[in-house]
Structure 1
Amino acid sequence: MKPISTSAVLLLGWALTSCFAARESRIESDYSYAGDFKHYRSYNFLESNTTPDTSQLAATVREAIQTHLRSQGYRITARRPDLLVSYRLFDGAMRFTGYDQPELTQWIKQETVESEETPETEKQGYKRVRYLLSDGTLLITLIDRKNGRAVWQGYASNVSAPAGPQAMAVMRRAVRSIFDRYRVLSEEYQSQEAQLR
């Protein structure tokens, strides 16, 4: 049997990668104008009342989320976290409602947090956008633990892949793409950066 050359392996890897890249996917996110993003420091995962998903795929998503939040200065804690993280993988195509908003980082720079006391004339309002998400959607939601409201959600469609290592790679890539839309450093991380300047 003739050995396979390195260039043949690289070419095959590139071909497989380009097939996945060619699949049309949608990565979107939206947020609450009431989110106090500059003051979040810690998080934990929202525990489900139903049987927890202990699959390797769920573990991969959870680890990827932890990696991204840690790199942004958030620390995981079981005691009174600022944010609760929820994630879910949906099979099949689905219609989804999102919102047309300024980029999150632009909104945070305005240093405005809407509340019940914000006059109606000063509230931003939410312009709904309907999406048709293709097979396999990963949805990640950040919830403000104090008020129990979702403050940010990111989603990636077309994240289905055959079971095995390939599915794990697709999920890690999807989580990374989603968190590319949440470029918010924790309050402690921001304070350290300010002190270094």
Structure 2
Amino acid sequence: MKLSVTLWLSLALALSGCFASREARIESDYSYSGNFRRYRTYEFVTGSGLSADTSKVGEITRDAIRTRMKIQGYRAARNRPDLLVIFRLFEGDMAFRGYEQDDITRWVNNGQVEDEDTPKEERKGYQPVRMILAEGTLLITLVDNRTNRAVWNGYASGVTVPPGPQGEVVIRRSVRSIFDQYRVFTEGYLNGTEGQGTQN
């Protein structure tokens, strides 16, 4: 049985995308002060850098993030969004400080939020981990718009974005892998009761 040229090219691109991202390191960390149960809406930060980039790479990255946020129940909102989304693509190796933490899903399910009223002896504390991220790091940060503090970082390193259709495959796969670390759905979204008895 002969494969069509289109099918063969699609298969080749998919496999080469797998090889390009095979060495990627996917990590994330979060703030204990993040009120993750409250977040419902988001908007991208405007300004300079990739977040405001109108190039193909910037557009593909934004679209991939929008898709994932929608899947997890978040709505885009220009007026007073709960979360601000920042992303940036770094070139070259870089030193990065992450944190050794429990899975974010466990933290959110326990309903814990630390604030200035949390007694010092009850605070979780951060265990810093120093990492060297390989060339080609995509960093996505979620910022609490009310406190103006970063509440979650997700990053994929060692991902090379080639030109053309293969580059789009690599970007979308990287964004998907990063958000696999952020398994937080808006409250009530999974059981169809989102917004019932809650206020934004």
Q: Same fold per TM (> 0.5)?
A: yes
Q: Distance in 2 between matches of 1:114 and 1:78?
A: 28
Residue 136 (structure 1) aligns with? 136
State the secondary structure of the residue aligned to 2:189: helix
Greater shift, 104-113 or 169-178, is seen at 104-113
Q: Flag the 1:167–1:18 CA change in 2: closer, same or farther, 3 A.
A: closer
State the secondary structure of the residue aligned to 2:192: helix
Q: Distance in 1 between matches of 2:30 and 2:143?
A: 10
TM-score of the pair, normalised by structure 2: 0.87
State the secondary structure of the residue aligned to 2:160: coil
Percent of aligned pairs sharing the same letter: 49
Residue 35 (structure 2) aligns with? 36
> For this pair of structures, how many residues does the alignment match?
191
1:6 is the counterpart of 2:24: no
Task: Could you list the structure 1 runs, at least 4 aligned residues long, displaced by more than 2 angstroms after superposition.
Answer: 7-21, 49-52, 190-195
Q: Distance in 1 between matches of 2:89 and 2:13?
A: 26
CA deviation string 1:8-67 (max 9, x = no partner): 93774565245325x421000000000000110000001125693111011000000000
Residue 66 (structure 1) aligns with? 66
Please tell me whether the aligned partners of residues 17 and 166 of structure 2 are also in contact (alpha carbons under 8 angstroms).
no
The CA deviation at 1:151 is 0.4
Q: Distance in 1 between matches of 2:46 and 2:13?
A: 37
Q: Distance in 2 between matches of 1:37 and 1:77?
A: 17
Q: What amino acid is the match of 1:146? A: R
State the secondary structure of the residue aligned to 1:38: coil
Q: Flag the 1:177–1:124 CA change in 2: closer, same or farther, 3 A.
A: same
The CA deviation at 1:119 is 0.6
State the secondary structure of the residue aligned to 1:140: strand
1:24 is the counterpart of 2:23: yes
Counterparts in 2 of 1:127-166, with a 5 A limit?
127-166=127-166
Q: What amino acid is the match of 1:6? A: L
Please tell me whether the aligned partners of residues 41 and 188 of structure 1 are also in contact (alpha carbons under 8 angstroms).
no
Greater shift, 29-38 or 152-161, is seen at 152-161
Q: Distance in 2 between matches of 1:129 and 1:68?
A: 27
TM-score of the pair, normalised by structure 1: 0.88
Where is the helix percentage greater, Structure 1 or Structure 2? Answer: 1
Please tell me whether the aligned partners of residues 20 and 160 of structure 2 are also in contact (alpha carbons under 8 angstroms).
no
Name the larger-Rg structure.
Answer: 1
Which runs of 5 or more structure 2 residues have no equivalent in the other structure? none
CA-atom RMSD, angstroms?
2.3
Q: What amino acid is the match of 2:26? A: I
State the secondary structure of the residue aligned to 2:128: strand
Counterparts in 2 of 1:94-173, with a 5 A limit?
94-173=94-173
The CA deviation at 1:160 is 1.4
Please tell me whether the aligned partners of residues 34 and 113 of structure 1 are also in contact (alpha carbons under 8 angstroms).
yes
Q: What amino acid is the match of 2:116? A: E
The CA deviation at 1:182 is 0.6
Residue 89 (structure 2) aligns with? 89
